[in-house]
Copies of this chain bind each other. A is one copy, B any other.
Amino acid sequence: MKKRLFTPGPTPVPENVMLRMAAPIIHHRNPEFMEILTRVHADLKYLFQTTQPVVVLSCSGTGGMEAAVSSLFCSGDKVITINAGKFGERWGQLVRIFTGNCVEEKVEWGSAIQPERMAELLKENPDAKGVCLTHSETSTGTAADIQTLCSLIREQSDALILVDGITAVGAHEFRFDEWGADICITGSQKGLMMPPGLALVAISERAQDIINHKNGIPQYYFSLKKALKAHAGEDTPFTPAVSLVIGLDEALQMIKAEGMENIWTRHERLASACRQGCNALGMKLFSNSPSFAVTPVWLPEGVDWSAFNKALKNKNGITIAAGQDEYKGKIFRISHLGFYDELDMLTVIGGIERALKDINFNFQVGAGVTAVQKAFLEN
C-alpha cells in the first residue's frame, strides 16, 4: 500500500533530499563539508529573514529550546512563559529547571495569547528577563500573532523574546530582524522537509552580547557561546550530524528556489483548503486561531478515534496525528507543513472521506474533496 504522512514532524522528505543524504559520508573537517556548512549558514539566514547567525545543533528542537534558556539566563532570572499547549508547557518546564523563576501564563487549548493579556503580564512583571512564546503550537494547531507580540514586548520592556518556531518557520510569515525576536528555533523535521536530528537557532545581536558575556547556568553541549564561536569560523563545536547537514543544504536550495513569500502563501492556502474540506464533511475545527502548519479538528460525535485512524491508516495508508494529553481521542490533527502541494490536500481529505465511509459516518460523499477543489480553483 502506498503510504502518505500527514503528521507535523516528521514531515515527508523530498526524494532528492533523501538521495543526497545517501551519498558516501564525508569528514566534517573536509573542505567539501565546510563549503556545504558555509552555504547552509548563509541560507538559514534567508529562512529566518535575518542577518544574524543561525547556529546548527545536532539534537531535536527541544535541545534548541534548552540551549536558548540555559545560555541566556542566570539562576533566579524571572522568565514569562506562555502555555497554550504541550510545547508552551515545555518552555515552562525548561525555565523552572534552569532559572527556577517562571511566571507561566496558561491559555486555553485552541486559543492563542492575546496582545492585551501580554501587555498586562509585562506590567505585572517589570523585572522579567525574558518572554517565551510559541509561534505555532503543534499540540493545538493554533498560531499566535508573533509580530504584534514582539513589537509590544519591545515597546514595553527589555525582556528578551524567545520564539519556538519549531512548526512555524517555513509555514507562517516570520521576519526575525524586522519583528525584533531575540531567539527563534526550528527543527529539521518540520518546514525544512528533513528527517529529525537538527535544531536551528537564530540569535539576535543583543542576545549574542548576553550569551558572550554571561557566566550563568552550568552547560556544555548546549552552550550557544560555543556554537557562536564555532559559527564565526563556519564550524560546529562538536561533530555535527553530517548526513543531515548535507540534506539540509539540499532542502534549503529548494526553499530558496520557491522563495519564502511563496512558501508562506502556499501554506496559508493549503491550511485554508484543509479547513474548508473538514467543514464540508460536517466536522468542527478545534482552533480559533488556526495554524498554517497543522489543522486540528474535533472528532465528530459518535466517531471513535481508534476505528477512524485504523480505517485511515490500514486501508488508505494515511497517517495523521492524534490529539495529545487530555485531547487524545477528542481531536485529530492534519499536517500540511513542508513538502505538500494542493493535490496532497485533495488526497488527505479524500482519504478521510473514505475512512469515514468505512466506519459508517453519515456525510455527503464528495463534499470534502469538492470543497478542497473549490478552495483552490475558485479563489
Contacts and interface: CB of A to CB of B under 8 A. Distances in A.
Interface of A: 3, 5, 7, 9-13, 18-19, 21-28, 30, 58-63, 66, 70, 93-94, 97-98, 187, 189, 195-197, 217-222, 238-244, 319
Given A66-B221, A97-B219, A195 B59 contact: no
A238 to B, nearest CB: 4
B24 A197 contact: no
Contacts of A58: 58-60, 63, 196-197
Given A196-B239, A219-B97, A220-B97, A21 B21 contact: yes
Contacts of A13: 24-25, 243
B241 A244 contact: yes
A243 B196 CA distance: 8
A199 to B, nearest CB: 10
A70 B217 CA distance: 13
A280 B261 CA distance: 63
B239 A60 contact: yes
Copies of this chain present: 2
Contact of A239 (B26, B189, B243): B189
A195 B241 contact: yes
A218 B220 contact: no
A63 B241 CA distance: 12
A238 B26 contact: no
A321 to B, nearest CB: 8
Contacts of A61: 239
A240 B30 CA distance: 27
A59 to B, nearest CB: 5
Contact of A242 (B24, B25, B66, B189): B189
